[in-house]
Structures are given as structure tokens and as C-alpha cells.
Amino acid sequence: MSILSESSCSLSDFDAIGFDLDHTLCKYKLDILFPFLYKCLVKHLVEDLGYDEDIARPLEEHKDFVTKGLVLDVEKGNFFKFSENGYILRASHGTSPLSDEEIEELYGKERHWKHFKDLKETLTQNSSVRFFENYFDMPGSLVFARMVDAADKKAGKRLYEYNFLKEISASFLRVYRYQAYAENSGGYFPKYKEDPLQLIYPCSDSVKSFLRRLKQSGKFVFLMTSSNDDYGISLLEHTLGKDWQSYFDVCLFLARKPGFFTEPDPTKRPFLDIKNKSLIVNELKVGQSYSQGNIDYFMKFINKSTDKTNAKVMYIGDSLRSDIFPPSQYANWTTVAILEEMKHEGIMGYEDDDEPSSKKCKMSPQNVLEHEMIVSKQWGSFFVEKKQENVEHIHEGFVAMNTLWGYFIKTHATFAIPQLEYIADLPIEYRFHTFSHPDTNVGGFYPSVPKPLQEFL
């Protein structure tokens, strides 16, 4: 029986446990990060390409629009919140909400989008489909939306046909390409270098102790991040300390997930020496760090390091597209989703300012602006849609979670937590209920179900 089909699991069940870095081990100050990333993205569009400077208004003016999980119909400039079966639950044209009548006029009475099936099956993006499911992407949704608004305003009508995807994609590349750290370019990395702790929180002592205990218990502990080594090492030094390497058996940088898991030919994604990127590494060693790589060779290395023929691997990360779906779908890894939305939307049995009784450590502080940017009245809960009467709420025994991203959580994550601190003080042998657990009052959410789901339980 696979872990995904079992009703409970424990970290002690696994031979190897891996961690993502950004928004998992490294918690960002989102109230500062979101507005600044937005400024970086629109700077090139306005100053160099001459787009309407109105798009450069502060992100805070439209903070309720920004939410995790929006899917964009690139051709028509419409944003969607989907049910797990493809029903358009809510939509907007640019930043303006669409009425039920407008949605049905554009997408028919069934409210289905022609690209949904491929989106759900592959979680890939192309010239027609774009989605915003992580905290680096989310400010970009407002860039697209305001570009649509500006184009419509100039034309004096809704155009439903736009051709600025190339320019916006170029802005994303300027800000996020990994070479920009060394070049000190793109806007984001120069600001980060000024003072990293203005954008990130140091790791709590409880998480540091948690990583130590995993290694001491005999687990093979690894880091795998899509960040390049120069930026990634800086993050680790400021979150874990100068001795960051001692927490892991091996570290993989620039893994370029999800490609790490999906490339069928491992020779096209070799492991590279971290100091000499032109040097291919044919034998990985414990205690070292590497760049790029592939799942085929990495699993052989894990099996060898753990003295197993088929090592059980758990991976913990925040991105459903990169950290949850691909390792579950293509590598048979057990995945744990970091979902800060749980904390911001509220957890059953806990007040917002309280700590769960099962732990003693301090959380990163709740921030009002950060909360407002994660919780959206326009789009509703990340986990559920309650206003549509014809949306089915029953799915394999879990009655409430009915959104597209809820589908990926319950299908590809074994359990979900708001932050690592919520489990850091628990015994390694602690057994978590999974999303396969028959008790729907608990499901796979730890320490408890998000409040928006409680009325369906």
C-alpha cells in the first residue's frame, strides 16, 4: 500500500526527508516582498517599453485582487478561480469581477474553459495558460490584470484580445533569472543584498533543532531548491547560519523543478560541480552541494546512501506546481505541503494569535498587511467555494475542499501544515492523519482543518 492511500504517516516511516528552501525553510516578509516585486516587474514595462505608467501604482491599491492560485486566460485577459472539475467559480476581466451572466456569455452555461483539462492533467503553462500559485508569482497576476485594464481604457472597450505576454514574460525573466544575483541586476537581488533580513526571517531554533534531530535519528536529510547556489547559500547563511551545510547530507541548487522530475532523459540534466558549472559530476558524495541534476541519478544516490533498494522519500515544500505535484506524480515521493493560507484563513480550534497547544515555539509574527494580501474577499478561500449551489462538495470522503488547488492538495500531498514550526517540536514518531483518513474532521490538515471548511464537516 502506498503512503498516499494510508490513513496516517510518520516522519519515522521514511529513509530520506528533503526540504525546499524558499517559503519553506526560508520564510519571507510578504508585506515587504509583494510590493517590491511588483515595482521590479513593472519598472521595465513603464520606463523602457513605454506602457501606461498607471500600471505602476502601488500594489497595495489592489491588494485584494492578489491571491494564490489565479489562472489566466492569456488570450482574453480573464482570470479564473476553478472548481476541481473545471467549473468557473469566479472570474475577472483584468481587475474587474465578472458577473455570472458575463461568465456564461464568454464560456457557456457549463462555465468550462477549453484549456482546463490539460491544465489539470499537466500543470504546465504556455501561450494560452498562465497561473500564479506561489509567492514569487502572485504579484505578477496584478501586472497582467492592470495591463488588461490599461489596454481596455485606451481602446474605450473590453478588447478580449491582448498581445503583451512576451513583454511581461521578459520582465519576469529580468527580475528572476538566476544570473541577476551575480550581476546585481533586475531590481530584486540588489535590494536583497543590501540587507537580507529586511526580506526574510531567520529560522527559529525549533526548526534548527528539528533538522538536527532528523539527522541524528538516521534520516538522510537533503535540501533541493530551484534557487541558484549564490542566492541559495546566502539565504541559508541568514536563515540557518554559517554552519548551514551541517544540517544536510546533500544540497541541490538550481534544481529547476519541476523539470528535475519530468525530464525523461537524465543525460540532459546532469549534476554539475557547484564551483565549476562546466564540470559534470558522475558520482555524488554525502556532505557536498551540487547544481541542477535529475531524479533518476538522485534516487540511485539516495538508495546507496541509505543502503536501501527502494528508499522511501518525503519532500516538504510550498509550491504545488514544483514541490508537490511532480515528486508525487513522477517519483512516487510522499509530499507535505506548506500552506500559509491555513494560518491566514484561520485554523479550527485556534485563535489567530494563539499557538497550537502541541508546540511551544514562536511563529513568525502575524502581519496585518501580509494577511490582507493573502486573504482575498474578491476571490474567497483558497480551499473552498461556498457560493455556487451546483458545485459538488463531496470528493472521496472529504466533503469540503472543492477548488482546483484543493484537488492538487488532497490528491498529491499526504498532509499539509501552515509552517514548519507547527511540527518542529513534535516527536519524529508522531503520526499525522493524511488526506486519505476517513475522519473528515481532521483530514490531512495539521494541526486542524482551515476554518472556511468547518461548516461542511
46 vs 5, 77, 167, CA distance in Å?
Answer: 51, 19, 11
Q: Catalytic: which of 20, 152, 229, 323? A: 20
- Cell 498581445 identifies what position? 163
Confirm whether 137 is a catalytic residue: no
CA distance 17 to 151: 48
The rounded distance, in Å, linking the Cα atoms of 449 and 290 is 38
Residue 57: which residues within 8 A CB-CB, separation 6 or more? 146
Judge contact between 335 and 38, C-beta under 8 A: no
Out of 15, 22, 318, 425, the active site residue is: 22
User: Residue 343's closest CA among 244, 450, 268, 267?
Assistant: 450
Evaluate whether 130 touches 72 at the Cβ level (below 8 Å).
yes
Whole-number Cα distances in Å, 281 to 84, 105, 231: 42, 56, 21
Lateral strand order in the sheet of 70-73: 96-97, 88-93, 78-82, 70-73, 129-132
20 belongs to the catalytic site: yes
Residue positions annotated with a catalytic role: 20, 22
